[in-house]
Amino acid sequence: MTMKKKGWKDITEGNIIDKPATALEYKTGTWKAFRPIWIKENCIQCKFCWLYCPDMAIKMKGDKMTGFDYEYCKGCGICAKICPAKKKAIEMKKETEFEK
Ligand code: SF4
Ligand code: SF4
């Protein structure tokens, strides 16, 4: 017996539990297990990290990357993965290294 594949009309509707567009109200930075560290001298200012970060946690001044907003960064590591700088410009460190 072959199962019929589901189409998009068969999928249960999703719901927004709270109000929409509330990302700024929730400081999700406490979720992270890893923290990106910017190595300024190796940065070529390509802005790929800004483009790919899913949380808009890359700080910018004009068109220059200036570091991370750790209140929103979830530590996914995408920025470090896509950073094309020849010498590493973003290093992921364990969050436990920053505990007091
Ligand atoms: S680790 Fe993830 S959330 Fe944090 S700055 Fe990099 S891409 Fe954004
Ligand atoms: S992706 Fe890397 S080289 Fe490009 S702006 Fe970000 S830190 Fe700098």
pLDDT in tens, 57-91: 999 999 999 999 999 999 999 999 999 999 999 99
5 lies in some domain: no
Domain housing 89: 27-98
Ligand nearest to the CA of 88: 2
pLDDT band (50, 70, 90) for residue 1:
low
67 lies in some domain: yes
SS (H, E, C) the chain: CCCCCCCHHHCCCCCCCCCCCCHHHCCHHHHCCEEEEECHHHCCCCCHHHHHCCCCCEEEECCEEEEECCCCCCCCCHHHHHCCCCCCCEEEEEHHHHCC
- Ligand 2 contacts (CB < 6 A) are 38, 43-49, 65, 83, 85, 89-90
The pTM of the full predicted model, rounded to 2 decimals, is: 0.81
pLDDT band (50, 70, 90) for residue 24:
confident
Ligand 2 center from residue 25 Cα (angstroms): 27
The answer on pLDDT for 30 being more than 90 is no
Ligand 2 center from residue 82 Cα (angstroms): 8
71 lies in some domain: yes
Residue 75: what pLDDT? Answer: 95
**Residue whose C-alpha is closest to residue 82's, from 60, 54, 49:** 49
Ligand nearest to the CA of 50: 2
Atom in ligand 1 nearest the alpha carbon of residue 78: 7
Number of domains in the chain: 1
Residues 20-36, mean pLDDT to the nearest whole number: 82
